[in-house]
Chains A and B, each alone.
Chain A
Amino acid sequence: SQQGEEDPQALSIQEGENATMNCSYKTSINNLQWYRQNSGRGLVHLILIRSNEREKHSGRLRVTLDTSKKSSSLLITASRAADTASYFCATLTTGNQFYFGTGTSLTVIP
């Protein structure tokens, strides 16, 4: 399936450290989005990167996209306890199908 595979499945870091999570997918995309989900809540959109873009920044977030490798990474710099959540990538394929990845569970220890 097109579903993105995220790596690692779980990540635990100390507050102030950087967190990097990766997403790989299988077919050509129009865009890739990253979402955050706090426990018991809905997903919140973080950032969108188009297929012709390679890097995008938003505050402490940095997203890269490598379409040749069909992969993306999300970097959260100077992490805070409030960043503890699950992070999902989502791909819009060129066939107009939309898929979420399996998610990375991030724990930031104060």
Chain B
Amino acid sequence: DAGVIQSPRHEVTEMGQEVTLRCKPISGHNSLFWYRQTMMRGLELLIYFNNNVPIDDSGMPEDRFSAKMPNASFSTLKIQPSEPRDSAVYFCASTPQGQISNQPQHFGDGTRLSIL
């Protein structure tokens, strides 16, 4: 079975550019999560969706960040305009149930983003 698929695996771009990260959750999973991982701040939950609806976006750092889930099999995280401090590894994860619960999260391998 395919796991969570993220693209691209690596992205290098100049500050000010728009960045779009993509995620395909495991088929049949109802919840999707976006995380950011840095050495300084560790793993931070940015936003999560239940049944394609954003439930908690309190972790989104600022208005430059936005996330969408137009259907059950696709989500995007967009940064516009990007800044060097956005450099991090961004992970997407999914779970079968429609809420944060006792279900383990299944992670993709992340997108390593570098903003120059």
- Residues on A facing B (Cβ under 8 Å): 3, 30-31, 33, 40-45, 48, 50, 88, 92, 96, 98-103
Contacts and interface: CB of A to CB of B under 8 A. Distances in A.
A98 B104 CA distance: 12
Given A40-B109, A42-B110, A43-B105, A103 B42 contact: yes
Contact of B42 (A44, A96, A98, A100): A100
Interface residues of B, number: 18
A3 B44 CA distance: 9
Interface secondary structure of B, over-half rule: loop
A88 B102 contact: no
Given A42-B4, A42-B91, A48-B102, A88 B43 contact: yes
Interface of B: 4, 35, 42-43, 45, 91, 93, 99-102, 104-110
A61 to B, nearest CB: 14
